[in-house]
Structure 1
Amino acid sequence: MYIHLDRSSATPLWQQIVTEIIQKIHTQKLHPDDQLTPTRVLAQELNVSRSTVQLAYDELLARGYVSTSRRGGTKVISSDQYTASTPHQSEPPFSPPTRPHFEEAEKQMDHWLSANQFHEKLDIDFRHQEPAIDAHFQNIWKRSLMKALQRLDMKDWGYSSSHGLWEVRSEIRQYLSVERGIDVEEDQMVLTGGTQQAIDLISQVLLKKGDTVAVEDPGFPGARLSFMHREMNIHPSPVDEEGMVVNTLPRRTKLIAVTPSHQRPTGVCMSVNRRQQLLKFAVSHQSYILEDDFDGDYRYHGGPLPSLFSEAPEHVIYILSFSKVLAPGIRLAAIVGSRAVMKEIAALQSLIQRQLPIMEQITLASFFKEGEFTRYVRRMRQLYKKRQAAMMEALLTHHFDKHFRIYGTDTGLHVFLEGAQDFDEKESIEAAKAAGVGIYPLSPYCFESNRKGLLLGFACTDENMIQEGVRRLKKILHI
């Protein structure tokens, strides 16, 4: 059996022997039941050690190309795959099954993401999907990571609870008690890889195919599209100055997804009367409320609003995300609910991915433990408050309030300018882009709603740039 070895190659000789023999099998120079040259003989022929040949034969055996026995030696096994032609050459291309609900959700998600794509080349970008992230944040996060690693024990690298690390849940529990009036125990919380995953886990545990889910319209596309993917019956409930219009909810509604502290994207806060209507509906119809508190820490007049969960813990599932408070890249959120529901969600999480990665969890725990979280939120709240004030001053100075209804002025990281029915979002956005300014449309957040308007974020833009950006917008929008 002729085998060519390139002794100048970086590839080990035994690997070269393996490659050559496999090539001979595939090209039918070696046939099923052909016996390979004994190791001692082939070693002499190739002028290599017998152990080198034995290593090659062991590898062929491990890969399933040969069989070996004391009497028969090493033989090529019988297999239909060894043909001169490329395997599967004549087979039609394989594709996954069609899934209409998934494909439609994917298409709409792409539309939403592309409409909110950040414009790095623009002079001023009023992007609204992320908080400001600077060197200060990176430094304190790195410091928290190093302190967490110093406290880390060997056992912490093993399997842990699918609820999430106890240390993290304990810190979040204390924070929720002080800042949100939510008093729970650690077993009433499950950590997830962000809000999107949290919503999907909740839908799988609490709902079945065809159940009715009410969503805000306009509202967060991520929630609606997650329910669409799971083949739920989506009911869009309109949003007005007081939040979701509760009297539009069907009696059969199983789950109601809301952002009461700062409606996404219009920015309104759900009124006390509307909150009571929503809670009363959930109790009387045995429905769940999914409360998404995505940026409630950033309220500029008064403290954070009380949660729906604190008023009806058996009917509300609360989600706390760190994407807007800290940074999207952290990919951590917490689901809070009754013990029975959290037990089921944790079991599902264990089935899907067993547990979350450890590094982000221990760093976040350290971030809380060292007091960095409180200090950072306080610092950023003051920064955003100044930028929000600069945005409102610029809008009012240039009389935007005479052409738009302005929402979301007390909480969050953006304002919403609602236009008339004939307002052309696309034309305005293109004109702004030509002037070096990035603004964003309301329409990707709408399901059946025909409301029109613009979303202007201020978190990532300083006061001077805000003023200049609004000045340019006034000119292009002919205000």
Structure 2
Amino acid sequence: MDLHIVIDRSQPLGEQLLRQLRGLIRSGRLATGAQLPPTRLLAEQLGLARQTVAEAYERLTLEQLIEARRGRGSFVRALPAAEPERPAPTPVRLASAARIAAFQALPVPLLRFADSPLARWDFIGGSPEPALFPHEDWRRHLHAAQRQMSQGGAHAPPAGLLALREAIAEHLTFARGVRCSAADVIVTQGAQQAFDLLVRVLVGPGDVAAIESPGYPPITGLLQAQGARIAHVPVDEQGLVTDALPPDARLVYTTPAHQFPLGVAMSAVRRRALLDWAARTGAVVIEDDYDSEFRFEGQPRDSLQGLDTDGRVAFVGSFSKTLAPSLRLGYVIAPLALRDALLHAKHLADVHGPRLLQHALARFMAEGAYRKHLRRCVAEYGLRRERLMAGFAGALAPWLTLLPAEAGFHQAALFKAGSDIDATRLAALARRVDVGLYPLQGFGADRDGLLMGFGRITPDGIAAALTRIAELLAP
């Protein structure tokens, strides 16, 4: 069977194939029970690597759109029947109605991106390149982890498997100057769970919490859910303005290595000032080490946790940016004073994390595959960063200035003084030419500009997209 699939060589091949196969199934053009071509045959027809086709089939299997039948091939599964329309529910009076309404009103700006399709050339931030995921290595370690699990118990400790905590502690000591051992590591379901645990343990109704402005939107929602009073602290070219920190704050959230969304790094002077402030006030500093593994220039800056001598810094990291968001694996390096409370909160939240993935990641890191993968990612993202900087120095120079960033896979661009360009309108126009743009105002910025992520767009795609943006801006 020949499938009508068109491959654009300038775009990620696997993502194109997956998207088109998914569309054929969901639209009904590939009917329930239809057999897909063998991976080798489809790869030959499309001029792709067989592994690329196999990975697309594997994703479709995970999404329950196809099923593999041993010795026969892959077949389209029946799509779930659409639920019949239900009558409007009768209003029910609940004693907790006010609390329910408060949660319904919480800001969740990133939720709208979850089911939204990406543009062909999309500058979404915080999203790594799926094509860089080390499928072969990961599959090998996953299979080994399955064998290992068959010989062990059913549950992992709330803090996470010891082997993974040891691997994380060793990596952070080497790569980020963090002072920790396995006992300090709590493995979480992504960085977001780490933030949730810290906020729940540290603040209650009426307590003051300081966050960067502009900053990471989900932190605002977590704090509001606890009833905290939020102090928005400005960010300049040296990072968080420590002189503006309120003296009564219980915690401060910051992204010192690569500020979200402006991309600046916190200066050494500000780092020392922040730690001095925390020592004076007794507050806890949440250090979000957002995508700092991808460093392109200069010497690595010391982590706040590595400089901390008073046990005030909770260091949070994640494998969502370096490997894949779908793994939902992160960690917090907990100060001694918080460790037991965080472990109790973690146990009450989910008892323990996914043992299979923790086993696989522990093996992946211990073998050195993680560091090898990071080097490959830095090389690829470095090429994309160079292409982005070249475009802003060339075609977009009349309208926008790209803010410097030493690390990470996004940079911020500000409209030049005197510009009357509206970022929201520009983003809407860009969508019409298949370019995804994200205004800084969506992250609380008081300056007109754009967040330019380059995790999901190839170097050639960056050049093509910036050309289209320049055409939209041209008089």
1:172 matched to 2:182? The reply is: no
Contact 1:162 1:355 in 2 (8 A): yes
| Structure-2 separation of matches of 1:354 and 1:251 | 36
Aligned to 2:308: 312
Shift of 1:101: 3.7
Aligned to 2:103: 102
1:380 matched to 2:383? The reply is: no
Aligned to 1:193: 189
The structure with the larger Rg is 1
Contact 1:115 1:444 in 2 (8 A): no
Contact 1:191 1:335 in 2 (8 A): yes
Matched residue SS, 1:360: helix
Aligned to 2:79: none
1:205 matched to 2:196? The reply is: no
1:131 to 128, 138, 146: 128
| Structure-1 separation of matches of 2:439 and 2:289 | 22
2:280 corresponds to which letter in structure 1? S
Matched residue SS, 1:309: helix
Matched residue SS, 1:378: helix
2:340 to 329, 339, 343: 343
2:221 corresponds to which letter in structure 1? L
1:323 corresponds to which letter in structure 2? S
Contact 1:193 1:333 in 2 (8 A): yes
Equivalent runs, 1:22-171 vs 2, <5 Å: 93=92, 97-99=97-99, 100-105=101-106, 108-109=107-108, 111-114=109-112, 119-120=117-118, 122-134=119-131, 137-152=134-149, 154-157=151-154, 159-171=155-167
1:227 matched to 2:228? The reply is: no
1:289 matched to 2:285? The reply is: yes
Matched residue SS, 1:155: coil
Matched residue SS, 2:233: strand
Structure 2 length as normaliser, TM-score? 0.76
Contact 2:392 2:400 in 1 (8 A): no
Shift of 1:422: 4.9
| Residues 370-416 of structure 1: CA deviation (Å, up to 9, x unaligned) | 2110100000100000110011112112142x422312432111121
Shift of 1:273: 1.1
Matched residue SS, 1:310: helix
Aligned to 1:17: none
Structure 1 unpaired stretches of 5+: 1-89
Shift of 1:162: 1.0
- The answer to which of 229-238 and 182-191 deviates more is 182-191
Contact 2:223 2:230 in 1 (8 A): yes
Aligned to 1:43: none
Shift of 1:137: 2.1
Aligned to 1:453: 449
Aligned to 1:431: 429
Contact 2:401 2:413 in 1 (8 A): yes
1:145 corresponds to which letter in structure 2? L
| Residues 71-99 of structure 1: CA deviation (Å, up to 9, x unaligned) | xxxxxxxxxxxxxxxxxxx9864666232
Specify whether residues 91 and 259 from structure 1 end up closer, same or farther in structure 2 by C-alpha distance, changes over 3 A only. closer
| Structure-2 separation of matches of 1:250 and 1:177 | 32
2:195 corresponds to which letter in structure 1? I
Contact 1:187 1:342 in 2 (8 A): no
- The answer to which of 272-281 and 412-421 deviates more is 412-421
| Structure-1 separation of matches of 2:273 and 2:164 | 34
| Structure-2 separation of matches of 1:183 and 1:147 | 31
2:348 corresponds to which letter in structure 1? L
- The answer to which of 217-226 and 122-131 deviates more is 122-131
> Which of structure 1's runs of 4+ aligned residues deviate more than 6 A?
none
2:234 to 219, 234, 238: 238
- The answer to which of 414-423 and 458-467 deviates more is 414-423
Specify whether residues 422 and 224 from structure 1 end up closer, same or farther in structure 2 by C-alpha distance, changes over 3 A only. farther
Contact 2:133 2:323 in 1 (8 A): no
| Structure-2 separation of matches of 1:136 and 1:115 | 21
Structure 2 unpaired stretches of 5+: 1-88
Shift of 1:348: 1.4
Structure 1 length as normaliser, TM-score? 0.76
1:276 to 272, 278, 281: 272
Contact 1:119 1:438 in 2 (8 A): no
Contact 1:188 1:337 in 2 (8 A): yes
2:104 corresponds to which letter in structure 1? E
Aligned to 1:80: none
Contact 2:145 2:360 in 1 (8 A): yes
Shift of 1:135: 6.8
Percent identical residues: 29
Aligned to 1:260: 256
Matched residue SS, 1:238: strand
Shift of 1:128: 1.8
